[in-house]
Amino acid sequence: MIYHLLYSLKEWFPPFNVFRYVSFRAALAAILAFVICLLIGPRVIAFLKRREIKEKTTKSDSPELRDLHQHKDKVPTMGGFIILIAILGASLFCARLDNIFIQLGLLCTVGFGIVGFIDDFIKLTYAERHGLSSRRKFFLQFALSAALSFAIFRFLVAATGPDALNLYFPFFKNLVLDLSVIGGVGAFLVTLFVIVGFSNAVNLTDGLDGLAAGCVLIASAAMAVVCYLVGNVNYAEYLNLLYVRGSSELTIFCAAIAGASAGFLWFNCHPAKVFMGDTGSLALGGLLGFIAVAARQELMLFIVGGVFVVEVLSVILQVGSYRLRGGKRIFACAPLHHHFQFKGDHEAKVTVRFWIVAGIMAVIGLATIKLR
């Protein structure tokens, strides 16, 4: 919005020409998203308190976990609205609204936010229920992801050609997997897996004060760099990356996510004044997956978002071990961050250490671009 308005006035006021640069608008989006969070955060938190929309740790299946988190019972939840409003506001002001990736990103934000809201609403309304059933939640996530995937590939194939259906591997210069099986069904399935998988991965990671928000901040900042490179024909050619026309605009979207995550972290750091709930976590994870698919860097996200991957793997291993080994567990509790809590580490220590690992993984992921 602000791009279209101010850039059109550059003839009368030349300094407005700066709005043509993605890097400037990305920095502005990050700052604006952060400020929006600081401005609306206290009001949203106060509203949630008045409505008694609070976390219910008593619904945990683990008695030990209930004891560890019993002090969180009075903390408001569904604070993900703060993040979503900041992302939408910053993106609408700073991004080009005629860009297909921005349009789909806004749809992804709203769509996954609604799914998360429904899940949170059911948890808070019905004492005996843990939210949407797994089947219904996955159906809604898959339906939304399928619509996004169809739109992404319809545009990418037209703009980029059949190379848009390939899966590109980090570290290796010429290692490419052709996913154009049966008219692109392979690429479509990978897209569904990435978007739905990361939506749930961030949701699983959201278990300690500031953990998910901090890791999303780091991952989105790294993906902002990736989107900037693949969206610039010169950088993409030099680094042997697939050039995706128009994807540089996603840099602004990534910056808005990073700024909103930082702003939310202002209230969510230990001791948390508000939790994002599924309203925020499902949307943030879905956005990370969508951005990676749009930039054709799905495997890059598995590196820069390595913390989320490990959290999901810990749950899969725990469940598998319990079922296949007669009730034996690998971890004291899953996801992995609860394992360290059970071992006696304070949650603030666990959170900061996970942030450090997330930062290292982001650096490794970006380094693979040059290594190729």
Burial of 206 (0-12, 13-18, 19+ CB in 10 A): buried
**Of 132 and 366, the one with more pLDDT:** 366
Which pLDDT score is estimated for 257? 98
pLDDT band at 170 (very low <50, low <70, confident <90, very high): confident
Cα–Cα separations (whole angstroms), residue 241 to 6, 12, 234, 236: 32, 38, 10, 5
Higher pLDDT, 21 or 208: 208
Range in 9-13, 140-144, 172-176, 335-339 the model is least confident about = 9-13
pLDDT given for residue 6 in this prediction: 56
Average of per-residue pLDDT across 320-336: 89
Q: What mean pLDDT is predicted for residues 59-63? A: 62
Whether the per-residue pLDDT at 63 is higher than 80: the answer is no
Write the pLDDT tens digit of every residue in 224-281: 999 999 999 999 999 989 999 989 999 999 999 999 999 999 999 999 999 999 999 9
pLDDT of 358 > 90? The answer is yes
Task: State residue 158's pLDDT score.
Answer: 81
Instruction: Choose from 55-64, 107-116, 151-160 the range with maximum mean pLDDT.
Output: 107-116
Residue 126 has pLDDT above 80, yes or no: no
Look at residue 32 in the predicted model and tell me its pLDDT: 97
> What is the predicted pLDDT for the residue at 59?
55
- What does pLDDT average to over the chain? 89
Residue 37: count of CB within 10 angstroms of its CB: 27
How far from 51 is each of 7, 102, 120, 264, 266, CA to CA, in Å?
43, 34, 14, 20, 22
Q: Would you call 123 exposed, middle or buried from its count of C-beta atoms within 10 A (0-12, 13-18, 19+)?
A: buried
Q: How far apart are CA 273 and CA 197, in angstroms?
A: 28
Give ∠ CA 240-242-284 in degrees, rounded to 5. Answer: 120
Instruction: Residue 111: name the closest of 286, 281, 341 by CA.
Output: 286
User: Which residues, other chains included, contact 319 with Cβ-Cβ below 8 Å and sequence gap of 6+?
Assistant: 334
Give the start-to-end residue ranges of the domains of the chain: 2-371
Question: What does the block give as tokens for 282?
Answer: 């499902």
Is pLDDT at 64 greater than 90 in this prediction?
no
**Residue 16 has what pLDDT?**
59
Amino acid letter for position 94 = C
> What is the mean predicted confidence (pLDDT) over 207-236?
95
Q: Which of 371, 241, 367, 361 is nearest to 304 (CA)?
A: 361
Average of pLDDT values for 2-30? 71
